[in-house]
Structure formats: C-alpha cells, structure tokens
C-alpha cells in the first residue's frame, strides 16, 4: 500500500522538531518530497527546508549561496556548532567574572580588616 501524495503547500509547512537532528529533519523532508506530486527545483527545496527551521538558525542562513540540500545540511551543522561554542564560551566567561568578583570582595574585605587593625594598633600604641 503506497503512501498518499502531498501538496507543495504541505511540504512547505514541514517544520523541524525541537529534538530533531538536522540529518533527521532533512531525511524526513526528503521522504515527504518523494510523496509530492510536483517537481521542484533543488534550490526551491532548500528554501522550503530552511522555512521549517527555527528562526535562530534561519536568520544565519543566506539561501542564495546554498544550491542543494547537502550544502544546507553542512551550513546548519556549522551554525549549530558555533551556537554551542558561543554558549560554552559565554558560560565560561560568566564563571570567570563571578570568580573575579569573589576575589575583589575578598580583597575589599581584607583592606577593611587591615584598616581596622591599623586603627586598633594606632589606638593601642597611644
């Protein structure tokens, strides 16, 4: 029993699921394309597939330079790697800033203690 055909409108409405890898999404997209009764040029398929991506990824893609689905997949992988790297770097920088703040607070506390000790020493000597 064959699967039913789908329209271009249905194909264009395919969205990537939150937990879906880019390879799984594009595979699912290709399977659905095989059920589409309209022939579509590859660059238009790329546009449709991009339309199903999250905005945070979509905004970083310039589809005029992506001629086929393989290039699209490569570019999305690159964008996702950079996104992870940025998050990791940001997390590290945040920890580093917190550490520096703790050190600064310790230094300020030590300065305050030194002032108190100096005053006490001065009072004790007089």
- Percent of the chain exceeding pLDDT 70 equals 94
* Residue-level pLDDT at 21: 93
* CA proximity to 69, closest of 23, 117, 126, 9: 23
Q: Quick check: 40 and 33 in contact, CB under 8 A?
A: yes
- Work out the average pLDDT over 7-34: 94
- Work out the average pLDDT over 37-55: 92
Convert the pLDDT of each residue in 81-90 to its tens digit: 998 888 888 7
* CA proximity to 26, closest of 37, 13, 15, 40: 15
Q: Quick check: 61 and 22 in contact, CB under 8 A?
A: no
* Residue-level pLDDT at 123: 65
Residue 31 has pLDDT above 90, yes or no: yes
* CA proximity to 67, closest of 99, 90, 42: 42
* Residue-level pLDDT at 33: 94
Residue 1 has pLDDT above 80, yes or no: no
Residue 55 has pLDDT above 70, yes or no: yes
Query: Can you list the alpha helix ranges (DSSP code H) found in 5-61?
Result: 8-12, 22-34, 42-51, 55-58
* Residue-level pLDDT at 124: 65
* Residue-level pLDDT at 126: 59
* CA proximity to 16, closest of 28, 6, 34, 8: 28
- Work out the average pLDDT over 48-60: 93
Three-class SS state of 66: coil
User: CA torsion 110→114→116→120, rounded to 10°?
Assistant: 150
Convert the pLDDT of each residue in 61-82 to its tens digit: 988 888 899 999 999 999 999 9
């Amino acid at each position: 029993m064959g699967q039913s055909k789908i329209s271009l409108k249905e194909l264009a409405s395919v969205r990537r699921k939150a937990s879906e890898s880019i390879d799984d999404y594009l595979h699912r997209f290709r399977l659905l394309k095989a059920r589409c009764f309209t022939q579509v040029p590859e660059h238009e398929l790329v546009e449709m597939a991009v339309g199903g991506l999250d905005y945070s990824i979509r905004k970083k893609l310039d589809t005029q330079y992506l001629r086929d689905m393989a290039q699209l997949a490569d570019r999305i992988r690159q964008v996702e790697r950079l996104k992870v790297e940025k998050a990791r770097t940001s997390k590290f920088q945040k920890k580093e800033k917190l550490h520096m703040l703790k050190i600064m607070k310790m230094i300020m506390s030590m300065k305050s203690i030194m002032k108190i000790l100096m005053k006490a020493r001065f009072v004790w000597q007089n």
